Amino acid sequence: MRPEMNLRISPRTVQQETVGKLRLAIFSGVFQPGSRLVESQLCAQLGISRPSLREALRSLEAERLIEIVPNRGPSIPALSWEEATAIYEVRELLEVEAAGRCAARILPEQVQALEKSLVAFEAAAASNDSAAQVMTAADFYSIILANCGNAILEEVHRGLLARISFFRGRSMSLKGRAASSLAEMKDIYEAIAAGDVKAARKASKRHLLKAKAAAKISIESVT
């Protein structure tokens, strides 16, 4: 009777594992926008069967991370500037609201968590690791959303997160954007820590406007 230290709290299924891997791959730009994902290839690469892969693809489809057209299969959707604008507008709705709610109900230990993530972003911003910048920035907002007191708001935002991160990655590569972003996020943090709802909303809105402008520049420079 060997004491198998098998404390798997949540048994990661192949499906979950696959969704995670593909999400990360899409997020880090392994697949070009518009490119098609061939099932048999993915199966081979991931070492899984088609049914399992297809289940994972359905999950990703629902997240809008891929598109599945009947008889043509899954592909990476191309993001237009128009769509980016729409996303930033919805982000504004959601994040401004979340920041305000968060400021109204924040607890000390959550403030600490926020500060910690801000420090992490600061470190990332100092480096040139844009992936780390994107991740830490996402963390910062995730904490806010997680503490806004509305699980649906958080859920909806998470549904947008992949695409948000995509744009964030682009705009962070602009010179000076990370530093500027850091300052804006500090404003948000301070307003929340102070419990100032109005200031939190305002800071959040200002941050988004600037992020949007940065994203526009970075996108247009590519096209």
Query: Which positions lie near a copy of itself, rule CB under 8 A?
Result: 10-11, 13, 15-16, 51, 54-56, 58-59, 61-64, 70-71, 82-83, 86-87, 89-90, 93-94, 97, 150-153, 155-156, 159-160
Shortest CB 37 distance to DNA, Å: 6
63 binds, among a copy of itself, DNA, none (CB under 5 to 8 A by kind): a copy of itself
- Tokens, residue 9: 């709290």
- CA-nearest of 175, 160, 172, 156 to 211 is 172
- Cβ-based nearer residue to a copy of itself, 82 or 220: 82
CA distance 192 to 207: 14
CB closer to a copy of itself, 7 vs 152: 152
Q: Which helix (H) or strand (E) holds 81?
A: helix 81-105
Residue 51 interacts with DNA (CB under 7 A): yes or no: yes
Q: What are phi and psi of 69, to 5 degrees?
A: -100, 130
Residues in region 74-103 near DNA by CB under 7 A: 74
**What single-letter DSSP state applies at residue 64?**
T
| 135 three-state secondary structure | helix
Nearest Cα residue to 181 out of 168, 162, 197: 168
Q: Segment 157-196, which members bind DNA (CB under 7 A)? A: none
Residues that bind DNA (CB under 7 A): 11, 13-15, 36-40, 47-52, 54, 68-74
